[in-house]
Every structure is written in structure tokens, then in C-alpha cells.
Amino acid sequence: MKPVKKILLVANTAWNLWNYRQSLIRALTQSGYTVVLVAPDDRFRDLLLQIPGVRFIALRHLSRKGLSPLQNLKLLLELSRIFRQEKPDIALLYTVKPNILGNFAAELAGDFKTVSVVEGLGYSGSAAARWRWLAALLYRLALRKTQKVVFLNRDDCREFLNKHLIRPAQAQIIPGPGIDLSHFQPAGNPPADPVVFLFSGRLLSEKGIREFAEAAKLLHRENVRAIFRILGAPDPGNPASIHKVEVAGWAAEGFLEYLGSADDVRPALAEAHVLVLPSFYREGVPRSVLEAMAMGKIIITTDTPGCRDTVDDGKNGFLVPLRDGNALSDVMQRVLQLMPEERLEMGARSIRKVKEEFSDEIVIPLYVTLLESLGRN
């Protein structure tokens, strides 16, 4: 029985590895594994290299928005070359292109194990039918030989099984990306009034940002005493990204505030009472919601896969229909009608829920156990 010694983590950005995988990377290096990170180079590479025991290989040919067959062929060959040179025991593959082309590359490179982590279906989950069909075909072909396919919620797992994209023995659910509760924790309560509603996330239409703006505008016209803020940056690699000029235009109209972007979202969360994510993006489990829950915030999000997992409706937040700014404004009104102590209790329930279901203390051991089990097989 050969123990796992070298693990590759492959993702579409170094930002992704730093923001979502950092706790897992540290846990693996502290357990004695050699960890090699593979992603396109960006400013987060230097932060990742500060983690003891980590190496970084920059991908040159991964274009997140490119559909060029030639570009994807170059990425396939690049990944295959890296796999042959590194000879990992296991490759952990994150995000769509690494999940698909990474598994094809693994077959070309030789006999080692892969684990694909499907963290939501992203814009492919709400794309036109022809693109969903193509994505399903590519997933079915790519995932034939992967040892495990990890899902963050039961809805996505069920969909892959119902469409016969994977075998039941391949499926494993690990609840969410994990959240470091020592980093995200309550920072005192903001003043009871006015209530601050915060949208925190990439500026994607499919994250429901326009619905948030619509609801804010409706309430502003009714002279509701509340503050509406947006924190986030565009995502040029994503077809659903909107330009920050549009957001700045909303701010110029006076019904919301645009905070720009920030590497550390905690100060903005500390000043908010409610995190609003009206997403129809097919999230895995949205990290922005978990961050807000850990800091004791009420959650308003959509009744859709991944998002609905974070809310016990009426307990720590509220679920709203997709693409419905009017329904969203109605729910915001419900929050405004709560007494301050009721809002604090809902925030406390968010803390309890994230601690019991989504914390690093729960999620990271599940990944480590999975990797150890594959090393023994």
C-alpha cells in the first residue's frame, strides 16, 4: 500500500487557490505532503509561495473565456507535460477547464489518480441549451477514469448522477469550500439603524447584482431608511461580468454605494447587517455567504442549488425566487421590520450554522481522509 506523497492542485487562477484552497494547502503541507500548485500566474502567486513546502508552476495556455480549439489543445499538452514531469500521486482538479482538460491530460501522461472538485456549475449551469449539452458531453468523457468527483451540494451531485455523467461510486459530497472561523469572526455589532444591506462578490450578472440594484432602487424611491452597498470587482474572464461603470452609474443615481474591491472583505462585512446574494449562477456553496455567516450576518439569497444550503428560511435568513427584484425588495422590507434583537438572533443562528456545517474543522479533514484513502487503494 503506497502512501500519497505528492499532490498537485490545479485551478484556473492563483487567486482561486489563495482564496479558496489556502487552508487545505496548509493542512497538506503540515501533514508532510509535497504540494505543487498549478495555475496561471497572477499577483497571488507570491502569497502562495509564502506557505512553507509549496511549489508553483505557472500555466501559460489557460484562458478562462477562450473556446478556441487550438488554445485548449495547447493547454491539454501543457498539462500533460507538467503531469509527466511531476509524476504526482494524486492531482486535485478545480474549476471547469482543469476538470475537463486535466483529466484528459492525466490519461495522456500516465497512470496516476485524479480527484475532480465540481464547485457548482457556474455560468455553464445557466447557459444556453447547446452549451449545457456540450459541457455535459465533455464532463462525461473527462470523468470516466477519475477516482472521485467531489460536490459541494446534493443538487449538483444528483444532476451529474441523473445525467449519467459519473458512476455512483465516484460521487462524494463535501459541504462547501470550508471557512476559517479564526479569520472570519464577529467584530462587534454595527449600529442598529440604519440597516446596511451588502452585496459582496464578483460583478457578475448571474450573481444577481442587477436584481440587488433593482431592489435597492425600489426601496430608495419609497424613502426607506436603509443603506445598500456593493463590494466587488469585475471578472474579465467570465462572460457574465458587468463593467464597473454600470455599478458606478447606480451609485451616481444615489440609491446605493459602490465600495470598489478589497482583498480583505471583513471591514465591509463588519459594517453590514445583511449579506444579499440573489444569485442564479449555480453556486457550489457561495464563499461570500459563508464569510458573512461566520461574522454573524443575516443572509438573503436565492432558493437555488448551493445557495439554499446556507439558509434555514426565516431562521438565519430568507430565500427569494430567482431574477425577481420585487420579491427581493419585499424580503428586505421584512428584515427592516424586525426588532434589533431579532436581527441579532438571526445573525447568531448564522454563526451556529456555519460552525456546525461548513467550517474548515469539518471540511478539511474530509479532504485529507479522501486523499489518504486513495493512497491506500
102-138 tens-digit pLDDT: 999 999 998 789 999 998 776 544 455 556 788 889 9
Residue 284 sits in a domain whose CATH number is 3.40.50.2000
Q: 108 Cβ partners below 8 Å, 6+ apart?
A: 76, 80, 83
Cα–Cα distance for residue pair 177/119, rounded to 1 Å: 8
Averages of pLDDT over each 10 residues, the chain, 377 residues: 78 95 96 96 95 96 81 96 96 96 95 90 54 86 96 95 96 95 94 96 95 98 97 88 95 98 96 97 93 98 96 98 97 97 98 98 96 82
- Both 318 and 369 in one domain: the answer is no
Helix 209-221, helix 244-253: angle, nearest 10 = 10
CA–CA dist 175, 160 (Å, integer): 17
Whole-angstrom distance, CA of residue 305 vs CA of residue 364: 22
What are the beta bridge partners of residue 155? none
List b or e across 193-208, with b for residues whose CB sees 16 or more CB atoms inside 10 angstroms: eebbbbbbbbbbbbbb
In a domain, 186, yes or no: no
Residue 94, in any domain of the structure = yes
Amino acid 237: pLDDT:
75
In a domain, 160, yes or no: yes
Question: Are 23 and 113 members of one domain?
Answer: yes
Strands 113-118 and 34-40: unpaired
- Decide if 315 contacts 349 (C-beta within 8 A): yes
Cell numbers for 27: 493542512
Asked if 341 and 218 sit in the same domain, the reply is: yes
CA-based nearest residue to 290, from 153, 367, 180, 150: 180
Q: Is residue 1 part of a domain?
A: no
What pLDDT is recorded for position 124?
A: 47
What domain range includes position 101? 6-178+360-376
Return the pLDDT at 130.
Answer: 59
**Nearest alpha carbon to residue 237 among 84, 15, 37, 22:** 15
Q: What is the DSSP letter of 189?
A: P
d(CA 250, CA 213): 7
Residue-level pLDDT at 68: 84
Phi, psi of 140 (to 5 degrees): -60, -45
**φ/ψ (deg, to 5) at 309:** -65, -20
CB-CB contact of 296 with 313 (8 Å): no
- 317-320 and 298-302: which strand pairing? parallel
Are 285 and 318 part of one and the same domain? yes
Tell me if 159 is assigned to some domain. Answer: yes
| Contact between residue 333 and residue 216 where contact means Cβ atoms under 8 Å apart | no
What is the pLDDT, as a whole number, of residue 1?
42
Residue bearing cell 426607506: 224
- Do residues 157 and 277 share a domain? no
Whether residue 137 sits in one domain with residue 153 = yes
Residue 105 lies in a domain: yes
Cβ-based burial of 74 (10 A; exposed 0-12, middle 13-18, buried ≥19): middle
Helix, strand and coil percent figures for the chain, each rounded to 5: 45, 20, 35
Give per-residue burial for 312-336: e unless 16+ CB within 10 Å, then b.
eeeebbbbbebbbbebbbebbeebb
16 shares its domain with 162: yes
Q: Are residues 334 and 237 in the same domain?
A: yes
Q: Give the total number of structural domains in the chain.
A: 2
pLDDT of residue 376: 66
Same domain, residue pair 276 and 148: no
Residue 313 lies in a domain: yes
Q: Are residues 155 and 204 in the same domain?
A: no
Residue 33 included in any domain: yes
Judgement on whether residues 82 and 222 belong to the same structural domain of the protein: no
Q: Do 168 and 239 fall within a single domain?
A: no
